[in-house]
Amino acid sequence: MPPEESGPAGADGELSPAARRLYAYAVERHAFGLCEATGALGVRAAAAITELAAAHLLQRAPGDEPDRWSAVAPRAAAARALAPLALLVRETHDEMDRLRGRLETLVPAYEAGTAHRDLSGSGRLELVTDLGAVRGLIAELVATCERELLTSQPGGGRPLETLEESIGRDESLLTRGVRMRTIYQHTARYSRPTAAYVERVTALGAQVRTLGDGLMRMLIFDAHTGLMAVPDRNGAALVVREPSVVHFMTAAFERSWVGAEPFPTSVSPEAARSISDELRQTIVRLLSEGLEDKVIARRLGMSERTCQRHIAEIMRAVGAKSRFQAGYLLSAAAPTPPDRRDPP
């Protein structure tokens, strides 16, 4: 017999060729012994007998001879093999029903409590600290959004995995006819994955703009539910359902939107210089306020190394030998804002 015919069963549970030949031999007779099978098939049949017995396809033949075997019908073998699993499934279903029943008893208390919470207004702000729960909530809100989604995304270019997670969800939203407006920071223009994402969603009607500074990470769904990032809590979000706070978030977005510029899918040299000049002016302003490099970099959505390179260029331009001196010179050169008490 070829070596492949005498091997064990496959990893997927299939019978070996030797076991199949032995089973065909077994079903043609009432009973057989090991020596008979070996002589008839021309191979040692012990391994094949063990394999078929483990699959419940062979059983000991009745009688006084212990080494005689008889075939078992495949359906009967399946019933024997599946009996423990069927029992486990029944026990699992019973446990599921018991657990469901225990939790269902809490439904009246939950509904009464949420009704009281909504009347008191305490349920209109909710802190969600688990990143997986935040993602699930966003997916749910996007799926039920009917009119418009506003998003404000500071931090420069978005990670590729985040964009891949968002693109299908956002395309589905736009094909339903929901409006979508997004604001990034200027530095996002130099991120190829972000630019490719913008090109896809704008082709479906989304509007995307960029701004230098002053963005807050937030999402607003149909002007009634907002999500805000939580400072110093990575992956956490504050869910806002209080109408006045959602209105404030929407107004803040609209102010940023008016001052933002359209996101081009390709940046011309002139536009790149214009954006670079605006970034440097923003760095000058933040530097004159005494902010540290890493804080400025985070606010502008760029790496700290890139930010330090810009600061070094600014220091050379004003003739400063230290960062402190640059901040002083820039602060002294900055125009003094008018007194709010003076008449216009």
- Decide if pLDDT at 120 tops 70: no
Total-model pTM: 0.51
pLDDT, average across residues 286-300? 75
> Which residue would you say has higher pLDDT here, 196 or 283?
196
Under the banding of pLDDT at 50, 70 and 90, the label for residue 182 is very high
Torsion angle, CA of 328/333/338/344, rounded to 10 degrees? -170
**Distances from the Cα of 80 to the Cα of 61, 77, 85, 335, angstroms:** 17, 5, 10, 89
Least confident of 231-235, 257-261, 305-309: 305-309
Do 323 and 307 touch, CB atoms closer than 8 A?
no
pLDDT at res. 342: 41
pLDDT at res. 191: 81
Under the banding of pLDDT at 50, 70 and 90, the label for residue 123 is low
Question: pLDDT tens digits, residue range 247-285?
Answer: 999 999 999 999 888 888 655 555 555 556 667 777 777
The kind and range of the H/E element at 135 are helix 131-144
- Decide if pLDDT at 327 tops 70: no
Q: Give the C-alpha separation, 17 to 22, whole Å.
A: 9
Tokens standing for 50? 């063990």
Do 23 and 57 touch, CB atoms closer than 8 A?
yes
Most confident of 101-110, 264-273, 295-304: 101-110
pLDDT at res. 47: 87
> Which residue would you say has higher pLDDT here, 317 or 149?
149
pLDDT at res. 284: 75
- The percentage of the chain sitting over the pLDDT mark of 90, rounded to a whole number, equals 23
Question: pLDDT tens digits, residue range 236-247?
Answer: 899 999 999 999
Pick from 279, 314, 316: nearest CA to 271: 279
Q: Give the C-alpha separation, 70 to 33, whole Å.
A: 9
∠ at Cα 131 (126, 135), nearest 5°?
Answer: 85
For residue 83, give the 3-state DSSP assignment.
helix
- Decide if pLDDT at 142 tops 60: yes
Question: pLDDT tens digits, residue range 37-84?
Answer: 888 887 778 888 888 999 999 998 887 677 889 999 999 888 888 888
- The pair phi, psi for residue 22, each rounded to 5°, is -65, -40
- Decide if pLDDT at 307 tops 80: no
- Decide if pLDDT at 328 tops 70: no
- Decide if pLDDT at 133 tops 70: yes
> Which residue would you say has higher pLDDT here, 120 or 199?
199
C-beta neighbour count of 268 within 10 angstroms:
9
Q: Give the C-alpha separation, 168 to 143, whole Å.
A: 11
> Which residue would you say has higher pLDDT here, 110 or 205?
205
Strand order in the sheet with 207-211: 125-128, 237-240, 225-229, 218-221, 148-153, 179-185, 207-211, 261-262
pLDDT at res. 269: 55
The string of DSSP letters for 219-236 reads: EEETTTEEEEE-TT-TT-
Pick from 64, 257, 74: nearest CA to 152: 257
pLDDT at res. 3: 41
pLDDT at res. 103: 87
Cα 15–chain centre separation:
41
pLDDT at res. 268: 54
pLDDT at res. 12: 55
> Which residue would you say has higher pLDDT here, 342 or 227?
227
pLDDT at res. 340: 37
Do 49 and 22 touch, CB atoms closer than 8 A?
yes
